[in-house]
Amino acid sequence: MIHQFMIQGTGKVINRPTKTGGKSYDKFFIYIPTNVAKDSAFPFKPGEEVVVRIDKKRLVIEKLKE
């Protein structure tokens, strides 16, 4: 029997307000722990555009289909 282990870690939601044109805007980031992002199963590359949505109280992040 093959066991597959999910790599996981504790992340964090960060708000970094920014000013553009004299107005202040919230800018949210999600920190993904290095051990998760460097795992061979991690599906994203730095700079890649993604689709972010909420589905049944879960945050879903998927690759942007071109």
The closest alpha carbon to 16, from 28, 8, 4, belongs to: 28
E runs forming strands in 1-66? 12-15, 18-20, 23-25, 28-31, 50-55, 58-63
Mean pLDDT of the chain: 91
Q: What is the pLDDT of residues 38-50, one digit of tens each?
A: 999 999 999 999 9
pLDDT, tens digit (0-9, with 9 covering 90-100), for 2-24: 546 778 999 999 999 999 999 99
Which pLDDT belongs to residue 27?
95
Amino acid of residue 53: R
Q: Is residue 55 left, alpha or beta, with left meaning phi > 0 and alpha meaning psi from -120 to 50?
A: beta
Residue 46 has a pLDDT of 93
Question: For residue 42, what pLDDT is reported?
Answer: 93
